[in-house]
Amino acid sequence: MTTQLTPEVTWTGVVDWSLRMFHSYAVPDGVTYNSYLIQDEQLTLVDTVKSSYASEFVHKLQQVVKIEDLKYLISLHAEPDHSGCIPTIFGLNPEIVIVCSTPAQEILKTIYPQLKSANFMTVTNESTLQLGKNTLKFRMTPMQHWPESMGCSMGDILFSSDIFGQHLASTERYVDDFDVFRVIMRMEDYAANIMNPFRVNVTKTIQYYAEQNYQHIFPAHGLCFQFDNCKVAFEVYIKFVEQKVKQNKVVVVYDSMYGSTAKAAQIVAQGILSKGFEPVLLNAETSSNAEIAYALFKSRALCVGSATLNNQMMPDLDAILTYAGQLQHLKGMKFCAFGGCCWAGTALTQIVNKLNEFGAECVGQFGWILKCDDQQLQHLFELGQKIVEALE
Ligand code: FEO
């Protein structure tokens, strides 16, 4: 089903209800790939969807438009979750003009060699395109999320691409008809797992967008925003770019073998709590990369605990720290390390070295052999207090 969003814009996207992993990013609420049809004198499509949904996408479009009548296809972002059906549309309408940034043209022709004979029109910052009554205005947003990314506006409507996106499957299109708190959580989760490394670039874009007084925001994923709810989207992103999203929380992530490190994590958490901060306890074996990235996004510090296995830290924990470090959640973050072992306490050293490499700062560490006695448990409690004291 398509949805009329405004008199001139119709949602023609697809909902991926079953997807649970988006290239290593766990998406428990599924995904929506948004595409928008602008019905003006020049019929225009903004973005397509993932190629696995080509049949459904074409069927949807045919309900509201003849594909051969489309004049322009705006490709805001060449990543295949949005560009995957451009070759399908081009196959049905070889005269269509693909409008994109200069780097996007090269990327699209490389991913889809069949587009080498397509009509491309490249645009740059502040380029405009007359559709009839409406004019599109383009805004380059490089490295938000890829180098070729851009947004475009039409009057008070913003097509924002990945910015303001959320991974959510829903039959509703506007936030007004949905659970706003879930949308906020998924928008933050998206920022934590996709946009975080590009925060400085996003800052400039958000500052520009905030001055435009948009009444509709149509992102590439998830729910759309209109009127007062546009403020909801801006509040999340302003907090993100101004680094005001962090609360008085400390992530305690651990991986245990026979329960000694798990018990230590509980004691560290009690020490954190005794200082008025909220511990966020996560077992690396049962938590997704994305959950931990989100927890770090909202927290001010980190405690990491691991048993030693084959002279290494536990492999699930190692993978999670790599994922979080690559997303730049560890840069500048204070941390404590702890861990139990049988005979070789190398996990502790590995944790400290790894987090240091990602730009984090160690403020304490504590290891033990086999099982903690009461004095060692007290030391772990104090380690939890120490991480909070380091933030004061
Ligand atoms: Fe939804 Fe960066 O693609």
Q: Is the pLDDT of residue 357 over 90?
A: yes
CA of 194 to the centre of ligand 1 (A): 8
Burial 82-109 (b: 16+ CB within 10 A, else e): bbbbbbbbbeebeebbbbbbebbbbbbb
What's the rounded Cα separation, in Å, for the pair 25 and 85?
A: 23
Of all protein residues, the one whose alpha carbon is nearest to atom 3 of ligand 1 is 79
Quote the pLDDT of residue 345.
Answer: 81
Quote the pLDDT of residue 352.
Answer: 97
162 lines ligand 1 (CB under 6 A): yes
C-alpha neighbours within 13 Å on the C-beta side of residue 21: 4
Residues 126-143 have pLDDT tens digits of: 899 999 999 999 999 999
The position carrying tokens 């390390």 is 337
CA of 336 to the centre of ligand 1 (A): 34
Tell me the domains of the chain and their CATH numbers. 3-241 (3.60.15.10), 249-389 (3.40.50.360)
Q: Is the pLDDT of residue 343 over 90?
A: no
Instruction: Assess contact for 214 and 190: CB atoms under 8 A.
Output: no
What's the rounded Cα separation, in Å, for the pair 255 and 318?
A: 10
221 lines ligand 1 (CB under 6 A): yes
Burial class (CB in 10 A: 0-12, 13-18, 19+), 375: exposed
pLDDT band at 342 (very low <50, low <70, confident <90, very high): confident
As a whole number, mean pLDDT of residues 338-350 equals 89
Q: Is the pLDDT of residue 341 over 90?
A: no
Least Cα distance to 3 among 265, 218, 277 occurs for: 218
Q: Give me the residues paired with residue 152 across strands.
A: 138, 159
Bigger pLDDT: 42 vs 371: 42
Quote the pLDDT of residue 71.
Answer: 98
pLDDT band at 375 (very low <50, low <70, confident <90, very high): very high
Backbone angles phi, psi at 168, to 5 degrees: -150, 130
167 lines ligand 1 (CB under 6 A): no
Least Cα distance to 234 among 225, 223, 246, 243 occurs for: 225
The ligand 1 atom at the shortest distance from the C-alpha of residue 165 is 1
The amino acid occupying position 166 is Q
pLDDT > 90 in the chain, percent: 97
What's the rounded Cα separation, in Å, for the pair 233 and 237?
A: 6
Residues 190-225 have pLDDT tens digits of: 999 999 999 999 999 999 999 999 999 999 999 999
Residues 159-192 have pLDDT tens digits of: 999 999 999 999 999 999 999 999 999 999 999 9
Quote the pLDDT of residue 292.
Answer: 97
CA of 127 to the centre of ligand 1 (A): 23
Residues 77-99 have pLDDT tens digits of: 999 999 999 999 999 999 999 99
Residues 260-316 have pLDDT tens digits of: 999 999 999 999 999 999 999 999 999 999 999 999 999 999 999 999 999 999 999
The position carrying tokens 């560290």 is 268
Quote the pLDDT of residue 355.
Answer: 98
Has this prediction a pTM greater than 0.85? Answer: yes
Quote the pLDDT of residue 3.
Answer: 97
Of all protein residues, the one whose alpha carbon is nearest to atom 2 of ligand 1 is 145
